[in-house]
Amino acid sequence: MSMNDPIPAIQARALWMRRTAFAMVHRAQLGHPGGDFSAIDILAALYFGVMTHDPARPDWADRDRFVMSKGHATGAIYTALCAAGYFPESWLDTYMGNGSLLNGHPNRNYVPGVETNTGPLGHGFPVATGIAMAGKIRGTSYRTFVLTGDGEQQEGSNWEAAMVAAHAKLNRLTLIIDRNRLQQGAGTEETSGLDPLDQKYAAFGWDVAMVDGHDIAALVAVLGADPGDRPRCIIANTVKGKGVSFMEHQAKWHHGVPNDAQYAQAMQELV
Protein backbone atom coordinates (compact mmCIF):
# COMPACT_ATOMS: atom_id res chain seq x y z
CA MET A 1 0.00 0.00 0.00
CA SER A 2 1.12 3.53 -0.59
CA MET A 3 0.89 6.09 2.16
CA ASN A 4 0.29 9.49 0.67
CA ASP A 5 -0.75 11.53 3.65
CA PRO A 6 -1.34 15.26 3.10
CA ILE A 7 1.58 17.47 4.09
CA PRO A 8 0.02 18.74 7.36
CA ALA A 9 -0.64 15.17 8.44
CA ILE A 10 3.00 14.26 7.78
CA GLN A 11 4.10 17.30 9.75
CA ALA A 12 1.93 16.13 12.62
CA ARG A 13 3.56 12.70 12.41
CA ALA A 14 6.98 14.33 12.58
CA LEU A 15 6.00 16.31 15.66
CA TRP A 16 4.73 13.16 17.35
CA MET A 17 7.99 11.38 16.43
CA ARG A 18 10.10 14.16 17.97
CA ARG A 19 8.12 14.27 21.20
CA THR A 20 8.04 10.48 21.46
CA ALA A 21 11.72 10.01 20.63
CA PHE A 22 12.72 12.56 23.26
CA ALA A 23 10.50 10.87 25.83
CA MET A 24 12.22 7.57 25.02
CA VAL A 25 15.66 9.12 25.42
CA HIS A 26 14.62 10.86 28.65
CA ARG A 27 13.25 7.64 30.08
CA ALA A 28 16.23 5.52 29.05
CA GLN A 29 18.81 8.26 29.71
CA LEU A 30 20.42 6.87 26.58
CA GLY A 31 20.20 7.66 22.90
CA HIS A 32 21.25 10.04 20.14
CA PRO A 33 18.59 12.76 20.12
CA GLY A 34 20.53 15.35 18.10
CA GLY A 35 20.72 13.02 15.10
CA ASP A 36 17.16 11.79 15.68
CA PHE A 37 15.88 15.34 15.31
CA SER A 38 17.87 16.14 12.18
CA ALA A 39 16.55 12.99 10.48
CA ILE A 40 12.94 12.78 11.64
CA ASP A 41 11.38 14.99 8.94
CA ILE A 42 13.14 12.93 6.26
CA LEU A 43 11.80 9.68 7.69
CA ALA A 44 8.31 11.12 8.10
CA ALA A 45 8.32 12.22 4.46
CA LEU A 46 9.48 8.78 3.30
CA TYR A 47 7.19 6.59 5.39
CA PHE A 48 4.05 8.71 5.09
CA GLY A 49 4.44 10.56 1.81
CA VAL A 50 6.69 8.63 -0.55
CA MET A 51 7.24 4.92 0.00
CA THR A 52 4.98 2.08 -1.01
CA HIS A 53 4.97 -0.31 1.91
CA ASP A 54 2.62 -2.35 4.05
CA PRO A 55 3.24 -2.56 7.81
CA ALA A 56 1.09 -5.70 7.91
CA ARG A 57 3.52 -7.38 5.50
CA PRO A 58 7.06 -6.26 6.38
CA ASP A 59 8.51 -9.03 4.19
CA TRP A 60 6.41 -8.15 1.14
CA ALA A 61 8.85 -8.76 -1.73
CA ASP A 62 7.92 -5.68 -3.74
CA ARG A 63 7.94 -3.16 -0.87
CA ASP A 64 10.00 -0.03 -1.16
CA ARG A 65 12.97 -0.30 1.19
CA PHE A 66 14.39 2.24 3.60
CA VAL A 67 17.81 1.54 5.10
CA MET A 68 18.78 3.55 8.18
CA SER A 69 22.52 3.64 7.72
CA LYS A 70 22.94 6.09 10.61
CA GLY A 71 21.72 3.34 12.88
CA HIS A 72 22.36 5.23 16.09
CA ALA A 73 19.35 7.49 15.34
CA THR A 74 16.96 4.87 16.66
CA GLY A 75 14.64 7.52 18.08
CA ALA A 76 13.86 8.42 14.48
CA ILE A 77 13.54 4.95 12.95
CA TYR A 78 11.63 3.36 15.82
CA THR A 79 9.08 6.17 16.04
CA ALA A 80 8.60 6.11 12.25
CA LEU A 81 8.03 2.37 12.18
CA CYS A 82 5.73 2.54 15.21
CA ALA A 83 3.71 5.41 13.75
CA ALA A 84 3.35 3.45 10.51
CA GLY A 85 2.04 0.48 12.44
CA TYR A 86 4.92 -1.97 12.29
CA PHE A 87 4.79 -2.61 16.04
CA PRO A 88 2.71 -1.46 19.01
CA GLU A 89 3.43 1.74 20.86
CA SER A 90 4.04 -0.17 24.08
CA TRP A 91 7.35 -1.37 22.65
CA LEU A 92 8.67 2.18 22.75
CA ASP A 93 8.42 2.18 26.55
CA THR A 94 11.08 -0.54 26.64
CA TYR A 95 13.61 1.42 24.54
CA MET A 96 17.10 0.13 25.37
CA GLY A 97 15.85 -1.59 28.52
CA ASN A 98 17.05 -5.02 29.58
CA GLY A 99 15.71 -7.59 27.15
CA SER A 100 14.03 -4.98 24.94
CA LEU A 101 13.52 -5.59 21.23
CA LEU A 102 14.53 -1.96 20.73
CA ASN A 103 18.31 -2.05 20.92
CA GLY A 104 20.41 1.10 20.68
CA HIS A 105 20.93 0.19 17.02
CA PRO A 106 18.22 -1.45 14.92
CA ASN A 107 18.07 -5.22 14.50
CA ARG A 108 15.96 -6.64 11.67
CA ASN A 109 15.61 -9.91 13.54
CA TYR A 110 13.84 -8.10 16.39
CA VAL A 111 11.93 -5.27 14.76
CA PRO A 112 9.58 -5.62 11.79
CA GLY A 113 10.29 -3.01 9.14
CA VAL A 114 14.01 -2.79 9.85
CA GLU A 115 15.73 -3.77 6.59
CA THR A 116 19.23 -4.50 7.88
CA ASN A 117 21.23 -4.25 11.06
CA THR A 118 23.24 -1.06 11.25
CA GLY A 119 25.34 0.67 13.85
CA PRO A 120 28.90 0.67 12.58
CA LEU A 121 28.90 3.53 10.08
CA GLY A 122 29.33 3.02 6.36
CA HIS A 123 27.36 -0.25 6.26
CA GLY A 124 23.85 0.74 5.21
CA PHE A 125 24.73 2.32 1.89
CA PRO A 126 26.54 -0.78 0.52
CA VAL A 127 23.66 -2.99 1.69
CA ALA A 128 21.13 -0.65 0.05
CA THR A 129 23.20 -0.89 -3.12
CA GLY A 130 22.82 -4.66 -2.99
CA ILE A 131 19.07 -4.34 -2.41
CA ALA A 132 18.75 -2.12 -5.47
CA MET A 133 20.95 -4.53 -7.42
CA ALA A 134 18.64 -7.43 -6.50
CA GLY A 135 15.67 -5.42 -7.72
CA LYS A 136 17.36 -4.89 -11.04
CA ILE A 137 18.48 -8.52 -11.42
CA ARG A 138 15.05 -9.85 -10.49
CA GLY A 139 13.17 -7.30 -12.55
CA THR A 140 11.12 -5.83 -9.72
CA SER A 141 10.07 -2.21 -9.45
CA TYR A 142 10.63 -1.37 -5.81
CA ARG A 143 12.70 1.65 -4.84
CA THR A 144 15.47 1.68 -2.26
CA PHE A 145 16.19 4.66 -0.02
CA VAL A 146 19.15 4.90 2.32
CA LEU A 147 19.94 7.64 4.85
CA THR A 148 23.49 8.27 5.99
CA GLY A 149 24.78 10.88 8.34
CA ASP A 150 27.11 13.45 6.87
CA GLY A 151 30.00 12.57 9.16
CA GLU A 152 29.35 8.98 8.13
CA GLN A 153 30.44 9.91 4.62
CA GLN A 154 33.99 9.86 5.97
CA GLU A 155 33.82 6.05 5.93
CA GLY A 156 35.45 4.80 2.72
CA SER A 157 32.92 2.02 2.18
CA ASN A 158 30.40 4.69 1.11
CA TRP A 159 32.58 5.65 -1.80
CA GLU A 160 32.95 2.03 -2.86
CA ALA A 161 29.14 1.89 -2.94
CA ALA A 162 28.95 5.21 -4.80
CA MET A 163 31.10 3.76 -7.57
CA VAL A 164 29.29 0.41 -7.73
CA ALA A 165 25.80 1.97 -7.81
CA ALA A 166 26.73 4.45 -10.51
CA HIS A 167 28.49 1.81 -12.61
CA ALA A 168 25.45 -0.47 -12.39
CA LYS A 169 23.11 2.46 -13.13
CA LEU A 170 20.96 1.67 -10.10
CA ASN A 171 18.43 4.35 -10.91
CA ARG A 172 15.94 3.10 -8.33
CA LEU A 173 18.42 3.77 -5.52
CA THR A 174 18.26 7.06 -3.64
CA LEU A 175 20.90 8.10 -1.14
CA ILE A 176 19.92 10.80 1.33
CA ILE A 177 22.66 12.53 3.29
CA ASP A 178 21.59 14.12 6.58
CA ARG A 179 23.77 17.21 6.22
CA ASN A 180 23.64 18.73 9.69
CA ARG A 181 27.34 19.61 9.49
CA LEU A 182 28.09 18.16 12.92
CA GLN A 183 29.53 14.83 13.88
CA GLN A 184 30.02 13.36 17.33
CA GLY A 185 32.85 15.56 18.44
CA ALA A 186 32.87 18.66 16.25
CA GLY A 187 31.88 20.12 12.88
CA THR A 188 32.41 17.94 9.83
CA GLU A 189 34.43 20.62 8.09
CA GLU A 190 36.84 21.00 10.98
CA THR A 191 37.19 17.23 11.40
CA SER A 192 37.67 15.85 7.89
CA GLY A 193 35.96 18.18 5.45
CA LEU A 194 33.22 16.88 3.16
CA ASP A 195 32.41 19.89 1.01
CA PRO A 196 31.61 20.05 -1.80
CA LEU A 197 29.53 16.89 -1.34
CA ASP A 198 27.28 17.69 -4.29
CA GLN A 199 30.21 17.96 -6.68
CA LYS A 200 31.71 14.76 -5.32
CA TYR A 201 28.57 12.73 -6.00
CA ALA A 202 28.08 14.39 -9.36
CA ALA A 203 31.64 13.44 -10.26
CA PHE A 204 30.88 9.86 -9.23
CA GLY A 205 28.05 9.77 -11.78
CA TRP A 206 25.03 10.48 -9.58
CA ASP A 207 22.08 12.78 -10.05
CA VAL A 208 22.35 15.25 -7.20
CA ALA A 209 19.70 17.42 -5.59
CA MET A 210 19.75 19.65 -2.53
CA VAL A 211 16.77 20.09 -0.25
CA ASP A 212 15.83 21.72 3.03
CA GLY A 213 15.72 18.60 5.20
CA HIS A 214 13.02 20.05 7.42
CA ASP A 215 10.62 21.16 4.64
CA ILE A 216 8.24 18.20 4.45
CA ALA A 217 6.59 19.36 1.22
CA ALA A 218 9.95 19.82 -0.47
CA LEU A 219 11.17 16.46 0.85
CA VAL A 220 8.08 14.64 -0.45
CA ALA A 221 8.52 16.28 -3.82
CA VAL A 222 12.20 15.50 -4.26
CA LEU A 223 12.08 12.00 -2.74
CA GLY A 224 8.96 11.08 -4.65
CA ALA A 225 10.19 12.32 -8.01
CA ASP A 226 10.37 9.65 -10.69
CA PRO A 227 13.70 7.87 -10.99
CA GLY A 228 15.94 9.03 -13.82
CA ASP A 229 18.60 6.92 -15.46
CA ARG A 230 21.14 7.10 -12.64
CA PRO A 231 21.18 6.71 -8.86
CA ARG A 232 20.17 9.85 -7.04
CA CYS A 233 21.87 11.60 -4.13
CA ILE A 234 19.79 14.04 -2.12
CA ILE A 235 21.72 16.26 0.22
CA ALA A 236 19.28 17.26 2.92
CA ASN A 237 20.45 20.35 4.73
CA THR A 238 19.40 19.83 8.31
CA VAL A 239 19.89 21.11 11.83
CA LYS A 240 21.19 18.76 14.50
CA GLY A 241 18.73 18.89 17.38
CA LYS A 242 16.09 20.55 15.17
CA GLY A 243 13.06 21.76 17.08
CA VAL A 244 14.51 22.32 20.54
CA SER A 245 16.23 25.65 21.06
CA PHE A 246 19.01 24.53 23.36
CA MET A 247 19.84 21.48 21.22
CA GLU A 248 20.05 23.03 17.77
CA HIS A 249 23.52 23.12 16.18
CA GLN A 250 25.08 21.60 19.31
CA ALA A 251 27.45 18.66 18.80
CA LYS A 252 27.11 17.72 22.47
CA TRP A 253 23.52 16.66 21.80
CA HIS A 254 24.81 13.92 19.48
CA HIS A 255 24.38 11.55 22.40
CA GLY A 256 23.43 14.01 25.10
CA VAL A 257 20.45 13.08 27.24
CA PRO A 258 18.04 15.50 28.95
CA ASN A 259 17.49 16.02 32.64
CA ASP A 260 13.93 16.56 33.84
CA ALA A 261 14.01 20.36 33.38
CA GLN A 262 15.42 20.09 29.87
CA TYR A 263 12.83 17.48 29.00
CA ALA A 264 10.03 19.68 30.26
CA GLN A 265 11.31 22.65 28.29
CA ALA A 266 11.63 20.58 25.12
CA MET A 267 8.05 19.38 25.47
CA GLN A 268 6.91 23.00 25.71
CA GLU A 269 8.77 23.87 22.51
CA LEU A 270 7.74 20.78 20.53
CA VAL A 271 4.14 21.78 19.85
Partner 1 sequence: MSDAVATTGLYDCRDAWARTLVDVAAADARIVAVVNDSVGSSKLGAFQKAYPDRLVNVGIAEQVMVGVGAGLANGGCIPFVSAASCFLTGRALEQIKADVAYANFNVKLVGQSSGIAYAELGPTHHSIEDFAWLRPLDRITVIVPADPWEVEQAVRWAAVHEGPVYIRLSRMPVPMLDVPDRVFCVGRAELVRAGSDVAIIGCGTTVHLAVKAADLLEAQGISARVLNMSTLNTLDEEALHAAAATGAIVTVEEACVRGGLGGAVAEFTASHRPVPVERLGFQGFQPTGSLDYLFQINDLTPEGISAAALRALKRAGR
Residues that bind partner 1 (CB under 8 A): 61, 65, 107-109, 115-120, 122-123, 125-135, 137-138, 140, 156-157, 160-161, 163-164, 167-168
Q: Which of 26, 143 has the CB closer to partner 1?
A: 143
Q: How far is the CB of 133 from partner 1 (least distance, A)?
A: 6
The smaller minimum CB distance to partner 1, of residues 93 and 160, is found at 160
Tell me whether residue 11 or residue 148 sits nearer to partner 1 (CB atom): 148
Please say which residue, 105 or 214, places its beta carbon nearer to partner 1.
Answer: 105
Nearer to partner 1, 107 or 250 (CB): 107
d(CA 73, CA 8): 24
Shortest gap between Cβ of 165 and partner 1 (angstroms)?
A: 9
Q: Closer CB to partner 1, residue 69 or residue 79?
A: 69
Packing angle between helix 33-45 and helix 74-84, nearest 10 degrees? 40
**CB-nearer residue toward partner 1: 57 or 138:** 138
CA atoms of 22 and 29, how far apart (whole Å): 10
Shortest Å distance, C-beta 182 to partner 1: 24
SS3 labels along the chain: CECCCCHHHHHHHHHHHHHHHHHHHHHHCCCCHHHHHHHHHHHHHHHHHHCECCCCCCCCCCCCEEEECCCCCHHHHHHHHHHHCCCCHHHHHHCCCCCCCCCCCCCCCCCCCCCCCCCCCCCHHHHHHHHHHHHHHHCCCCCEEEEEECHHHHCCHHHHHHHHHHHCCCCCEEEEEEECCECCCCEHHHHHCCCCHHHHHHHCCCEEEEEECCCHHHHHHHHHCCCCCCCEEEEEECCCCCCCCCCCCCHHHCCCCCCHHHHHHHHHHCC
Nearest approach in angstroms of CB 52 to partner 1 is 15
